[in-house]
Chains A and B, each alone.
Chain A
Amino acid sequence: MSTERVNVRKTYKLFIGGAFPRSESGRSYVVTDAKGKFVANASRASRKDVRDAVVAARKAFGGWSSRTAYNRGQILYRVAEMLEGRKAQFVDELRSAGMGRAPAAAEVDAAIDRWVWYAGWTDKIGAVAGAANPVSGPYFNFSTPEPTGVVGVLAPASPLLGLVSVIAPVIATGNTCVTVTESPLPSITLAEVLATSDLPGGVVNLLTGQAAELAPWLASHMDVNALDLAGAPAELATSLEQAAAENLKRVLRPAADTDWTADPGTGRLTAFLETKTVWHPVGV
């Protein structure tokens, strides 16, 4: 007599510094599928997890930002390759959240293509956003874009394409990020893709939990340089922006009804870039 095989379920944890720890708070929350059926007890990140993630992101910033743009492009492209190989898994996870088969497949395709889009930008944004400036004097004066630093990202509700669309432009230019998302599926699965794509640990940190609880700590953290409010709870957006003012964070405000399938342009790249201008002497 044969018995049906019992599935090996996945434990959904956080993604901090390249590892998958549980929340230090020991808390979890129930994730169900569209029909209300139990899927997992996801880790519910705490204020301390936010801080740990910022430490990891800061630690990773020096190395990641000094990689060559070509190397960052290769790694982002590698993410696309890994995602392509796990397409079926992502379609399944989106379907379990209630999406139809065709739209789920289209969403995964678009997410893969978005990585490819930003992979190509890593070694081109400098040419587009930089300049050689014709100053009146014996100087070679040039401006180059540089990453802002550690970016706090509140991921939008669009669980895969939206998430990819906010993370990829931040890291493409050499920033590192701490991302808060309410949907462990498929974001933690995306973290598994990132963890196997040669992306150094700490470049992307993913915290699952309640945005309303975590966002104020991220917005007020003094070692975070910028804040993407894409998925900020509407009623909190103003207070988060106020908190961000404390250390003059660069804030990307949420746009009403962002269409994540639209051509992303360069706005999300340039939002987290600084312009450095160097005056180099000319002489013999």
Chain B
Amino acid sequence: MSGKLFEYAPAPESRDIVDIRATYGLFIGGEWVDSTGEDHHKSINPATEEVLAEVAFATAEDVDRAVTAARQAYDKVWGPMPGRERAKYLFRIARLIQERSRELAVLESIDNGKPIRESRDVDVPLVAAHFFYYAGWADKLEHAGFGPAPRPLGVAGQVIPWNFPLLMLAWKIAPALACGNTVVLKPAETTPLTALLFAEICRQADLPPGVVNIITGAGGTGRALVEHQGVDKVAFTGSTDVGRQIARSVAGTGKKLTLELGGKAANVVFDDAPLDQAVEGIVNGIFFNQGHVCCAGSRLLVQESIAEELLDRLKTRMATLRVGDPLDKNTDIGAINSAAQLDKIRELSQAGEDEGATRWSPPCELPERGFWFAPTVFTGVAASHRIAREEIFGPVLSVLTFRTPAEAIEKANNTPYGLSAGVWTEKGSRILWMAERLRAGVVWANTFNKFDPASPFGGYKESGFGREGGRHGLGAYLK
């Protein structure tokens, strides 16, 4: 294999399908309202740095309005509504998402920078599936194993990250609503647009006003939401540092808390693994979504005897990855979500070099405007290096080796995180032996970065607590 990139004609997805407004207010009580403050933020396309829209930074007063609207909707409409009726609203939302799926995918790629192939084939279908899945739970909660008469918690304050904006919204809103809670959700500062389009979908579904409230903003808005006394439940996905702050601020309040935080997943490849399949899995594990994945397989642990061969094949494969226009259907790696994130990836990669690891990227032409980072692999990485310990949240892979299964386990678990792990081997008994010993919430065998609404997801240790997805995901929104 030469690793030569075939010349492909550009195949851009049309962006005519999306209609982005110049400015957005807040979605509170079923209406678009202006923020009480003056603070606005420009949401940009990270692939071009073009300004897409101006969105409000919700103030503490706005947060209060949103929580009040959610409380009223909970007390008067959503709380008392029979589960079978709530279910139908969620089924409606699932259908509306399917109907508007291309529009959502394009908008997601424009606002986030992820390749259209991923937003179209992964994010949006999973969003629809998630609503469809939890819709079906709404009238079956007494059979879910949380007691004979489980009750909703009330108002949920939910704060989500920028890496899977709409999917994280679905993971938060679908189970909350199915269980009879109402929500105030804050999308990430840099990726608010699909959440704002979701507000329109709620209106098309005739969802009662106040059941879903969407308020945009940055950390200050999130803090005001999390600390609001009218919130009964806090759900957060994001960095471990912010998760810690939230856990601290929620202490003593009695609010129920679930956190889905960072990771530094080990992807363990044994010498009997199907190598080509493993290479695809390694690529998918770390370069999917530009590596902006909390469960990314950012530490490759490869058995020493095949390390050289595997790395050769991996580099050959990396040389065929197409980096560029997220709306091009051929693109494998899109834009880094923000200038700030690009800085962080650069800083940690520099640290990798400074600490003595060997850096390699394929020859790769990056667009001039926008935020880009070539797929990168570090070899000669020691467990003490920052790139082996810290979450980079970018397309950067650290490679370590091991000799025995016991050593693989020791190295894989040598992290304060515990979100996910991967195992590659042809031997089923070894998969299960490894899975038993890996201290991580999700273990993928001969695959990586697979998600499903029926499959619980969440971390051990400092990767947070609580599960999203499956029957287990209901536990976060019931008492």
Task: Mark A residues whose CB is within 8 Å of B.
Answer: 128-129, 131, 133-137, 139, 141, 143, 148, 225, 237-239, 241-242, 244-248, 250, 253, 274-281
Quick check: is B4 within 8 A (CB to CB) of the other chain?
A: no
New A-B contacts (10) at CB < 8 Å, excluding given A278-B445, A279-B455: A133-B470, A136-B129, A238-B251, A241-B251, A250-B465, A276-B442, A277-B441, A279-B442, A279-B444, A280-B435
Pair A246/B445 contact, Cβ less than 8 Å: no
* Complex Cα gap A112–B464 (Å): 35
Pair A141/B251 contact, Cβ less than 8 Å: no
Pair A128/B244 contact, Cβ less than 8 Å: no
* Complex Cα gap A139–B444 (Å): 10
Pair A279/B445 contact, Cβ less than 8 Å: yes
- Chain A residues, CB < 8 A from B245: 245
* Complex Cα gap A250–B252 (Å): 14
Q: Is the interface of A mostly helix, strand, loop or mixed?
A: mixed
- Chain B residues, CB < 8 A from A248: 240, 243-244, 247, 259, 261, 461-465
Residue of B nearest to A66 (CB): B436
- Chain A residues, CB < 8 A from B452: 133, 135-137, 141
Pair A242/B248 contact, Cβ less than 8 Å: yes
Pair A275/B446 contact, Cβ less than 8 Å: no
Q: How far is the CB of B376 from chain A (nearest CB, A)?
A: 27
Cβ 8 A contact of A245, one of B145, B251, B456, B460: B251
Q: How far is the CB of A125 from chain B (nearest CB, A)?
A: 11
Cβ 8 A contact of A281, one of B445, B460, B467: B445
Cβ 8 A contact of B458, one of A131, A135, A242, A275: A275
Pair A131/B447 contact, Cβ less than 8 Å: no
Pair B416/A247 contact, Cβ less than 8 Å: yes
Residue of B nearest to A281 (CB): B446
Residue of A nearest to B442 (CB): A277
Query: Which 7 residue pairs across A and B have the least CB separation, nearest first?
Result: A238-B252, A245-B247, A241-B251, A135-B452, A245-B248, A242-B251, A281-B446
- Chain A residues, CB < 8 A from B441: 274-277
Given A135-B452, A135-B455, residue A278 in contact with residue B443 (CB < 8 A)? yes
* Complex Cα gap A172–B458 (Å): 23
* Complex Cα gap A274–B439 (Å): 10
Residue of A nearest to B465 (CB): A250
Q: List 20 A-B contacts (CB under 8 A).
A: A131-B456, A133-B452, A133-B455, A136-B129, A239-B251, A241-B252, A244-B247, A245-B244, A245-B251, A247-B462, A248-B261, A248-B462, A275-B456, A276-B441, A276-B460, A278-B435, A279-B447, A280-B431, A280-B432, A281-B447
* Complex Cα gap A281–B448 (Å): 11
- Chain B residues, CB < 8 A from A139: 447, 450
- Chain B residues, CB < 8 A from A250: 465
Pair A277/B456 contact, Cβ less than 8 Å: yes
Quick check: is B471 within 8 A (CB to CB) of the other chain?
A: yes
* Complex Cα gap A284–B261 (Å): 36
- Chain B residues, CB < 8 A from A225: 461
Per-residue A-contact encoding for B8-43, CB less than 8 Å = 1, 0 else: 000000000000000000000000000000000000
Q: How far is the CB of A42 from chain B (nearest CB, A)?
A: 31
Cβ 8 A contact of B450, one of A148, A239, A279: A279
* Complex Cα gap A135–B454 (Å): 6
Most A CB atoms within 10 A — which of B244, B247, B261, B446? B247
Pair A275/B472 contact, Cβ less than 8 Å: yes
Pair A276/B443 contact, Cβ less than 8 Å: yes
Pair A131/B471 contact, Cβ less than 8 Å: yes
* Complex Cα gap A143–B454 (Å): 11
Residue of B nearest to A248 (CB): B462
Pair B470/A143 contact, Cβ less than 8 Å: yes
- Chain A residues, CB < 8 A from B465: 248, 250, 274
* Complex Cα gap A250–B466 (Å): 10
Given A137-B450, A141-B454, A277-B441, residue A131 in contact with residue B472 (CB < 8 A)? yes
* Complex Cα gap A237–B253 (Å): 10
Quick check: is B440 within 8 A (CB to CB) of the other chain?
A: yes
- Chain B residues, CB < 8 A from A239: 251
Pair A280/B445 contact, Cβ less than 8 Å: yes
Pair A274/B445 contact, Cβ less than 8 Å: no
* Complex Cα gap A241–B442 (Å): 27
- Chain B residues, CB < 8 A from A274: 441, 460, 465
* Complex Cα gap A244–B460 (Å): 15
Most A CB atoms within 10 A — which of B254, B452, B467? B452
Most B CB atoms within 10 A — which of A135, A143, A247, A250? A143
